[in-house]
């Protein structure tokens, strides 16, 4: 195969398929397409070069717990699986009286006067051998967190599965904004 012949045939094909005549007839359209393409390219390059927002996960040494006998909050080492021993002793049925409490405030002050218990959490005794592991909810779904957990408001008597519609409603209510439109913040124990 002769290279010169191939080159000649390719150039002839290129001339027949060339966009040069169209560009010569429509220069404004070609310039517009070029500008739009360059703007899209630069926008994509800038978008890709912006770093992702880093979400800082704060781990606390202590968690809030609620004494079911006295209705008072107490603190214990973080990561314990409720129910745990409470300062007042066991419940009348002999089970531990301490359950996890989620305490919130609408201000970011450490000694906020508007602290409130959003909801309580305990382990579902009907779920066999369910181990509560600390999940990073940024990567793990809330359904995994909710499996084997019961929730309720402090003033309620009944517990609801955390992954049930009522359980989700109990937790959602804790995060509602107040009359001024402020969302509550978690208040860690000191």
Tell me, what's the pLDDT at 65? 93
Average pLDDT across each block of 10 residues of the chain; the chain has 190 residues. List them in order.
Answer: 81 76 83 94 91 77 92 90 90 91 84 84 78 53 73 91 89 88 86
- pTM for the full predicted model: 0.65
**Distance set, CA 148 to CA 6, 16, 66, 173 (Å):** 73, 71, 19, 21
Q: Report the distance separating Cα 174 and Cα 105, nearest Å.
A: 10
Tell me, what's the pLDDT at 158? 92
Tell me, what's the pLDDT at 67? 93
Q: Report the distance separating Cα 153 and Cα 159, nearest Å.
A: 9
Tell me, what's the pLDDT at 61? 87
H-type alpha helices, 85-164: 142-146
**Distance set, CA 104 to CA 3, 118, 146, 153 (Å):** 79, 6, 20, 13
3-state secondary structure of 73: strand
**Distance set, CA 31 to CA 28, 35, 43, 107, 161 (Å):** 5, 6, 18, 56, 63
Strands 185-186, 98-105: pairing is antiparallel
Tell me, what's the pLDDT at 153? 92
Tell me, what's the pLDDT at 135? 52
Handedness of CA 176, 182, 186, 187 (dihedral sign): negative
**Distance set, CA 166 to CA 66, 150, 158 (Å):** 21, 11, 11
């Amino acid at each position: 195969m002769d290279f010169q012949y191939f080159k000649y045939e390719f150039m002839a094909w290129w001339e027949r398929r060339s966009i040069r005549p169209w560009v010569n007839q429509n220069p404004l359209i070609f310039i517009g397409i070029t500008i739009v393409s360059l703007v899209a390219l630069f926008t994509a390059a800038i978008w890709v070069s912006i770093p992702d927002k880093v979400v800082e996960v704060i781990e606390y040494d202590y968690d809030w717990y609620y004494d079911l006998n006295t209705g008072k909050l107490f603190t214990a080492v973080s990561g314990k699986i409720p129910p745990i021993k409470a300062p007042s002793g066991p419940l009348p049925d002999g089970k531990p009286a301490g359950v996890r409490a989620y305490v919130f405030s609408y201000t970011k002050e450490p000694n906020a006067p508007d602290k409130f218990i959003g909801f309580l959490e305990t382990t579902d005794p009907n779920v066999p051998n369910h181990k509560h592991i600390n999940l990073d909810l940024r990567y793990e779904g809330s359904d995994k967190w909710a499996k084997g957990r019961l929730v309720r408001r402090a003033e309620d008597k009944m517990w609801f599965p955390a992954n049930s519609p009522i359980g989700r409603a109990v937790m959602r209510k804790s995060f509602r904004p107040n009359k001024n439109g402020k969302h509550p913040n978690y208040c860690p124990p000191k």
